[in-house]
Structure 1
C-alpha cells in the first residue's frame, strides 16, 4: 500500500473532527424535541464519516463514492446545525462544512 498523500490525510482528519463534533452535539442536545432532525443528521454523520475514514485509510476503490455521499450528508448536517444558537451546534456546523469540502476534493 502506498503512503497517504496530504490531501487524503486531510480528508481523514476532517472526517474524524466531524465525527467528534457530531458526537458532542448529539450528546449535548439529545432529547431536545426541536432538534430531532439535528440528532438524526449527527447520527448519520458519525456512521458515514467513520466508514469514509476506514475506506480512505485503506485507499479503497470505493472511497470516492463514499466521499460523494459523505460530502452531501455533512453539508446537510451543517445546514441543520447552523439553525441553532448553541455554540456546540455552531462548532458542529463548522466541522461538518470542512468535512464536506475535504470529501468534495477527493472526487477530483
Structure 2
C-alpha cells in the first residue's frame, strides 16, 4: 500500500472501522433490541453503509483512479446511516464512526 497517500490510508482505516462497527452493531445490538432497530429502512441503511465502506476499501487499497467516485457515494451513504442510527437511538458508536467516515470519504472525493 506504499502508493496510497497518508490521507488515503487514514480513509481506508476509517472505512474499515465503520464497516466493522456497523456490522457488529447490526448483529449484536439491533437484532437484539428489535423494534425500530430492525425497521426495514434502518437495516437497509446499515447494510448499504457496510457494503459502501467495503467498496471504498477495495478501490482505495489498489489505488484505483475511480476511488473518488466510490468515496463520494460512501460519504452520502454514511451520512444517511448516521442519521438513521441517531433517530433510532442508543447507537452513538455507529453515529460517531459513520460521521468520521463521511468526513474522510468526502475529502477523498474532492
TM-score by length of 1: 0.90
Q: 5+ unaligned residues in a row in structure 2: which ranges? A: none
Q: Which residue of structure 1 aligns with residue 30 of structure 2? A: 29
Deviation at 1:59, TM superposition (A): 0.7
Q: What are the within-5 Å matches in structure 2 for residues 1-108 of structure 1?
A: 3-27=3-27, 28-30=29-31, 32-35=34-37, 36=39, 37-86=41-90, 89-108=91-110
Q: 5+ unaligned residues in a row in structure 1: which ranges? A: none
Query: Is contact 1:79–1:93 with CA below 8 Å preserved after alignment?
Result: yes
> What is the total number of aligned residue pairs between the two structures?
106
Distance 1:68 1:22 in 2: 19
Deviation at 1:8, TM superposition (A): 0.2
TM-score by length of 2: 0.88
Deviation at 1:40, TM superposition (A): 1.2
Deviation at 1:25, TM superposition (A): 1.5
Alpha carbon RMSD of aligned pairs, Å? 1.5
